[in-house]
Structure 1
Amino acid sequence: MIEHQYDPDRDDDEHPPEGPSKSQIKREKLALQALAERLAGMPRAELERLKLSQATWAALDETARIKDMRALGRHWKRIANLLEKEDMAAVHALMDQAGERERELNARHHALERWRERLIAEGDAALADFIEQRPEVDRQQLRTLIRAAQRDTERGRPDAPRKLFRYLREVTDAVED
């Protein structure tokens, strides 16, 4: 073992360390572990677009049977090590697409929530605006759901507002398909 002694005359600026720092390596490893965790949670049909090695597939498939949190932590490290050997450009592209889809779904969900809240609060005025945007909607059914949601909201019950939300989602899904 070589011991390094302090040398006041030595200038470390002349000999900068080569490669990334230990901290940078650790950050990259942690990012890969987080990526491994996200990949394991994705549907297999999406992952099949990646050309992953057999070892990586086996590790991803093994994830479901691991229950212990400490073992799961080691498992993410194992998958992260396997991912280092994969085509990371394709993996990141897939994750970007999944992130974009998730953002779109969240935006759609929030828009439907705003419509529900507006329909409950404003009643017929908001109903006219909604029908103007979605003329194919069953007006009578929507009006009935709004009235029930208004009553349940006053009583502090969540059932009718949920039914109204589901109906709004069905109407928008039918139009978008």
Structure 2
Amino acid sequence: MTEFLHGDWDEDEELKSKSQVKREMEALQKLGEELVALAPASRAKVPMDDELKDALLLADKLSSKREALRRHIQFIGRLMRSRDIEPIEQALALIRNTNQAATRKFHLVEQWRDRLLAEKDAVTAFVAEYPEVDVQQLRQLIRQAQKEQQKQQPPKAFRELFQLIRPYITTEQ
């Protein structure tokens, strides 16, 4: 029984409890779930062999069949047991950080847009921080967005203001 749980066991290797083995298998399955959830463009950045890629493609096809997908994710977890998962984990961490940075930037742009519309001195602060912005266009869009809000019109200038300030804002602040 212990050989089944531990595979090829060396004298130096510590015995793992059945619970520890189960936790490790569940962690690999969670990693597999995360790979299945990735968009194809992000998944292409993750280093993996052809067998694992094929399994993930099949998981995409099984997305409408809940029970089949659950069993297939267990299979992906079993596949991952025989692989070096460190490069996969590193690639996933990089993807997570990229997504978090994009979210932070999005929120920062939203905050600036809202501040520009609400505060009179916000334009001066924005231009001081981002001097390369077209001030005339910025002021014009702010006025248009404020008029849209007052008249309860569709937020066309509101969106254009977001698009104008987005390229200037970075997340390193």
TM-score (norm 2): 0.75
CA contact (8 A) 2:25 2:81 kept: no
Amino acid at match of 1:58: D
Write out per-residue CA displacement over residues 107-158 of structure 1, whole angstroms, 9 at most, x where no aligned residue: 21111111011001014x1111111111111111111211222223342744
User: Hey, what does 1:145 align to over in structure 2?
Assistant: 141
Amino acid at match of 1:116: R
Write out per-residue CA displacement over residues 2-47 of structure 1, whole angstroms, 9 at most, x where no aligned residue: xxxxxxxxxxxxxxxx52343x444433332222122231424312
Q: Distance in 2 between matches of 1:29 and 1:73?
A: 14
**Residues 32/158 of structure 1: CA separation in 2 closer, same or farther (3 Å cut):** farther
Which portions of structure 1, spanning 4 or more consecutive aligned residues, are displaced by more than 4 angstroms? none
* Greater Cα radius of gyration, structure 1 or 2: 1
Q: Specify which of 42, 58, 62 is matched with residue 62 of structure 1.
A: 58
Q: Identical aligned pairs, as a percentage?
A: 34
User: Hey, what does 1:110 align to over in structure 2?
Assistant: 107
The alignment yields a C-alpha RMSD, in angstroms, of 2.4
- 1:94 CA displacement: 1.2
Superposition map of 1:24-173 within 5 A: 24-40=20-36, 41-42=38-39, 43-47=42-46, 50=47, 52-66=48-62, 67-123=64-120, 125-154=121-150, 155=152, 157-172=154-169
Amino acid at match of 2:110: E
Q: Gaps spanning 5+ residues in structure 2: where?
A: 1-14
- Secondary structure at 2:45's aligned position in 1? helix
Amino acid at match of 2:83: E
> Paired residues, what number?
152
CA contact (8 A) 1:53 1:86 kept: no
CA contact (8 A) 1:119 1:127 kept: yes
